[in-house]
Amino acid sequence: MCIKAFNGVIMKFFYTFFILPSIFITTTLFNIIVASGETLDPQCGKSRETLDYCMKDINSIERPIPQSIQEIHEVCSAFVTGMKCTDDYLTRCIDQRERKIIESEIYGAKHLYDHLCRNRNFQTNFLKHLDCIISIQSRWNACSDKFVREVKEDISKHFSQEAAQKRYVDFCCNRLMYENCVYDEAMTKCSTDSANFIREITIEDLEFYNED
DSSP letters spanning 200-211: HHHHHHHHHHHH
Compute the distance between CA of residue 147 and CA of residue 139 in angstroms, rounded to an integer. Answer: 12
CB atoms within 10 A of CB 192: 9
* Interval 80-113: pLDDT, tens: 888 888 788 778 877 777 677 666 656 666 766 7
Q: Which residue did the predictor score with more confidence, 163 or 148? A: 148
Compute the distance between CA of residue 193 and CA of residue 45 in angstroms, rounded to an integer. Answer: 49
Q: Which domain does 167 fall in, by range?
A: 129-212
Under the banding of pLDDT at 50, 70 and 90, the label for residue 194 is very high
0.85 exceeded by the pTM? no
Task: State whether 29 and 117 are in the same domain.
Answer: yes
Q: Which residue did the predictor score with more confidence, 33 or 85? A: 85
Task: State whether 116 and 134 are in the same domain.
Answer: no
Compute the distance between CA of residue 117 and CA of residue 72 in angstroms, rounded to an integer. Answer: 7
5 Cβ contact partners less than 8 Å away, ≥ 6 residues apart: 28, 31, 32, 35
Task: State whether 97 and 134 are in the same domain.
Answer: no
Task: State whether 134 and 124 are in the same domain.
Answer: no
Amino acid at 37: G
